[in-house]
Structure formats: structure tokens, C-alpha cells
Amino acid sequence: MKIGIIGGSGLYEIDGFEFVEDIELVNRYGKPTDKYKKFYFEGCEFYFLNRHGHGHKIPPHKVNYRANIYGFKELGVEHIIAFTAVGGINRLLKPGDILIPDNAIDFTSGRESTYYDEEEIYHIDFTNPFCPELRNVLAKSVISVKERFYEKGTYICTNGPRLETAAEIRAFWNLGADIVGMTLFPECVLARELEICYANVSVVTNFAAGTTTEKLTVNEVLEVMKQNNEKIKLIVKNITKNLKLIKNECECKRALKDTKISK
């Protein structure tokens, strides 16, 4: 099985993972944000991609999401697990907590969000934006690490790169959002359009704006991600132990069926 991992460069060194090669791609949507790093582990092929590029030089609104996800498709990847840093809106959430969202809200704008905007037009069903089978794998993998986590929640995606206002966070809470980040969309949509299973693991790195009196800083985010890096690596290692839960009976593999409107 081929598994795609989207995250930061800190994930590239996991005990037991055999590094194979760097793969540099350019496709019809341009150049992905970084090279794909291929690893072998327990009979699986893992392809790691740094979403923001080497040195974190690409802001969320300028990531070439279409090239990134299409690159995974070219490599034959059928399952993508995306790691993201988020702010906690729900007051139950504390920095360091892990959440595997089951739904999402898109507040981005100006991003290339579909592969089908020219001759072929598809309107995919996105009632459930994440693969239930892959979410189940992730839940079991996190449980194995014995970390505090939440198996459900709603991720709201803003455009960035600025952080949100306190009023925006209050509005997002009223909309039903539990966490806020900047990179989920259109990444998850593009994966569904290519019929790739996609699930997200969000690490709460800070309290969202207005939910605390403390000033939000990038240092806080980086420090929490650094502290959580080892547990994220353990979660990735545990994925192979739970792949038997994948039956390929999800709707992801048939996402385009009966959705084409162009003639």
C-alpha cells in the first residue's frame, strides 16, 4: 500500500523507516511545494511532502495545493494523511491535544480549489469531507500512543496568513467550529476529486484569538509542534498496524460517480 503524509520536515526521520529516494515532480498544475521523500516501513511505501516547502517559505494561501495532490496521484498514492497545526476554539481543547476532525468549514478565498473548472465539470458530494475508514485507522493509531485526543470535531479553514480576530473566532464558534487552521482547504477537496482517501490529524498548538488574554505568537505554535513531533512520529509508525481496518468500501473511491454535469 502507498500512503501519502503531508506535514513538516520534522517527520522525515522516523526510527525503522528506510529512506529510499527524493522524488522531484513537475505536473500540469506546476511544481509541488517540495520533493516527495519515499520511505519503506513494514511492507508499505510512504511518501512524505512538506506542505510549506523547505524552510517553511510558502504561506498557506500560496501553497500549490493542486500540484501537491496531483503529485501524490502520479505516484500511485491512494491514502493521504495530513497533519496540521490549529488553534483551539472549543474550550475543552488545550495546547498539545490531538483532534481527528469529522467535518469542516471553508472560509478561504482565491485559491485554486478544483481540477474540474474547464471542459469537464463535476459537483462532488462533500457531506463528509474525510474518509471514515482512514479516520478509523488514525483513531486506533493515536490510541496506541496513549495520547489525549478527540475523535470528532469541526475544522474551519481561514485564508491567512494573518491570525483571526476575536470576533471572527466567536462567529466561528457559533457556526460549530472546534478548531481553526489555514491549510485544510482546498487540499481535502482536491484529494476527493482524484478519488484519494484523505483524513486529517490536527494538533492544537494554541488557544484561538479572544479565548485567552495572552497574545498569540508564532513561537508558541512552533514550540508546541516541536514538543509533539515525537508523538506524531509514533502515530505514523502505528498506522501500518491498523491498515487491516481499510476495506476500500468508502465513497472516496467512487467520488466522481454521477457527479459530472458537463456534456
Q: Which residue positions form the known binding site for substrate?
A: 182, 206-208
Distance CA 176, CA 199 (A): 19
What is the Cα–Cα distance from 61 to 108, expressed in whole angstroms?
A: 8
CA dist., res. 74 & res. 66, Å (int): 12
Supply angle C-alpha 200, 85, 168, rounded to 5: 100
Spell out where 67-195 has E strands. 79-88, 98-99, 103-107, 149-150, 154-158, 179-181
Annotated binding site: 9, 51-52, 84-85, 182-183, 206-208
Distance CA 77, CA 36 (A): 12
Cell numbers representing residue 97 in the block: 491535544
Binding-site residue ranges for phosphate: 9, 51-52, 84-85, 183
Residue whose C-alpha is closest to residue 184's, from 216, 153, 158: 158
